[in-house]
Amino acid sequence: MPLIIETLSPVVLAKSSGANIMAPTEDFFPGSVVRGVLAGQYLAGKNLVHAEQDKNFYDLFLSGKVTFGPAYPIKDGQVGEFLPLTLMRDKGYEKICDLLKENAEAGFKGLRGLGIVNDDNRIKTLNVQKNLEFHMSRQNANERITGSSTDGQIYNYESLAAGQKFQS
């Protein structure tokens, strides 16, 4: 049964990164997040205090009997998925080849990220809408009031924009 997740507000799904001042977010909801969302709804609906003692909760969310797949973005009623790294495209996006089946011509580049394969076997790339937020580190009340930072510490983070739908 498909599960639809809609972002009603910005959502941060932290992605591993070596950058110190930029915290990127995922383009999809990993299965562990989907499981957490559903477990939270189950707990809220049952008003459980000791969830681990509830057999149904244990069987659904803790035992490993049920697996939860990722939720990928939906565009124009179709669910996107990660494109294989073997796909290459020409400069004008007119010609696509799969390196598992044929050699790429000169000038071809990797086709990365999310996409949708249409009924006519054409690939449409899919870009998830994201926000970028800028923040300064403020060490004391005076810095918070003035909106400044004497040590200059800054960081940025991405979030998925509100109003997008994802399907698991």
Name the H helices within the chain: 31-46, 55-57, 141-146
Residue 98 phi, psi (nearest 5):
-110, 120
* CA distance linking residue 93 with residue 125, whole number of Å: 10
- Dihedrals phi, psi of 58, to nearest 5 degrees: -60, -50
pLDDT (0 to 100) of residue 91: 80
6 Cα distance to chain centroid: 12
DSSP string of 74-123?
A: EETTEE-EEPPTTEEE-TTS--EEETTTSPPPTT-EE--SEEEE-TTS-E
State how far the Cα of 73 lies from the Cα of 69, in Å rounded to an integer.
Answer: 13
Is residue 31 within 8 A of residue 66, CB to CB? The reply is no
**Prediction pTM value:** 0.80
Position 119, amino acid: D
**Per-residue confidence (pLDDT) for residue 88, from 0 to 100:** 86
pLDDT score at 16 = 78
Distance separating alpha carbons of residues 138 and 149, to the nearest angstrom: 5
What's CA 121's distance to the chain center, in Å?
25
**Mean pLDDT of each 10-residue bin along the chain, 168 residues long:** 93 80 90 94 86 89 94 92 87 80 81 82 86 78 67 81 96
